[in-house]
Amino acid sequence: MIFIDGKPFVQSSASSNPSQCDDDAFLSSLLQHPYLIDACERFKFMPEWNISEKSMLDGVKHVYVFQREYATVIPALVQFVGTDEATTCVCMAIRNRDNGMTSVAHLDSPKIINSGLLQMLSLLIDQDTHPTLDVHLVGAFDDTSCQKYVSDGDDDVVGGSNRAKKSSMGYSVPLCSKIIQVLSDSSEKFHIGTLCVLGHNTQFNSAGETVPIFTGLVVETESGSVMPAQFSKGSRCPDDIVRAIRITMSFDDITCRGRLLETYDTKQDRFEITACSWNPEHQLWAFSMLQLSDSELLEQCSTSPSAESPDFVENQRRKFRYLINYPHWTDTFNKGKPRVFKRNVDGGWSVV
């Protein structure tokens, strides 16, 4: 159930459009709500916070979430939790007002929303209580004009697009519609505080192309304050390259279908990156990708080439180089065991 400004949200008949499906019309009605429009305007006036490696060295304890990952944190252990690099993806934060526990996910496909929401709620609520849950959604700009190919399956953002079909809706609208539909159908009470998506999160670059205004958010767990954010490369640790590879390999892993990836241990405040495997075919694929120009690599690896961050291409190349330099996955995951990292006193991470 969705609440706006403390009241249950009911779509007015006047805002319905018979040419739209119900879910798209419901989303459109939400985007036109005066309270959410005002909240979005306030969000746009906030300075974008840049989380750097220096922040960690200064003792700021934060948790970073990659694409298709989620993490639930406890305020007593973690000051900030967030994610970025969401162009056609959505950054979703859910916070329990009663205890401050906060879950953040980087959602990239409508097919993971149902299970993903259950994963996020698993530690935020228990069977005997129905707390007030604050929800914030940022990302997913208006990409309907982009001539991209949308995959039938869960492999829509990895490598080639041979099995894809063309869509005039882009990636963002179906994803946002699914999120709103699942929140609305739930018995939990979701109070939407920020809905900075689609038209509210769209601007034009110098070439006249639509690009997102914000691609990330961070939540201050103690107060619940939400701010636009970007994370530097050094602050996306631990194990950023291996986690990125695990995301890529998860699209072919049946055990990961329809689920968010778990990497963070909430109660112990540590990361556990479960083993994933790759084979010589992946190495050949990585080698072929490294032969592409920067513009070609952008077209192959991104759903929104004109909207990616400056370090997107280099991060992709780092991933491909790793697969070539470490062709045997058991060299990375010793005996198939997870890679475990604990937090240092200074806020950094070290291997257990």
**Tell me: the pLDDT tens digits for 47-95?**
999 988 666 557 789 999 999 999 999 999 999 999 999 999 999 999 9
Residue 230 covered by a domain? yes
- Assess if residue 268 is contained within a domain: yes
Mean pLDDT value of segment 128-156: 73
pLDDT at 253: 85
pLDDT tens for 6-33 read 999 987 654 444 444 577 889 999 999 9
Cα 90 to Cα 93: distance, rounded to the nearest angstrom: 10
Q: Please count the structural domains in the chain.
A: 1
- 143-182 burial, b at 16+ Cβ within 10 Å, e below that, comes to beebebebbeebbbbbeebeeeeebeebbbbbbbbbbbbb
Strand ranges (DSSP E) for 119-251?
132-141, 149-151, 164-166, 189-198, 202-204, 210-212, 217-220, 226-231
Angle between helices 312-325 and 240-250 (to 10 degrees): 80
Mean pLDDT (whole number) for 169-198: 94
Domain, as residue range, for 330: 6-351
pLDDT of residue 2: 96
Q: CA–CA distance from 184 to each of 3, 89, 269 (Å)?
A: 9, 20, 31
Cβ–Cβ contacts within 10 Å for residue 345, how many?
6
Whole-number pLDDT of residue 103: 98
137-151, 156-170, 263-277: least confident range: 156-170
Q: What is the CATH number of the domain that holds 241?
A: 3.30.1330.200
Rounded to the nearest integer, the mean pLDDT of the chain is 88
Q: Is residue 133's pLDDT more than 50?
A: yes
Residue 310: CB atoms within 10 A of its CB come to 6
User: What is the predicted pLDDT for the residue at 151?
Assistant: 45
pLDDT value for 161: 34
What CA dihedral angle connects 326, 309, 235 and 329, to 10 degrees?
A: -20
Across residues 192-204, what is the average pLDDT? 97
What's the average model confidence in pLDDT over 296-309?
A: 92
- Within a domain: residue 1? no
Could you tell me if 162 and 153 are in contact, meaning their C-beta atoms sit under 8 angstroms apart? no
How do residues 216-254 score in pLDDT, each as one tens digit? 999 999 999 999 999 987 899 899 999 999 999 998 888
* Burial zone of 192 (CB within 10 Å; 0-12 exposed, 13-18 middle, 19+ buried): buried
pLDDT tens-digit series, residues 149-165: 444 445 444 333 333 34
In a domain, 45, yes or no: yes
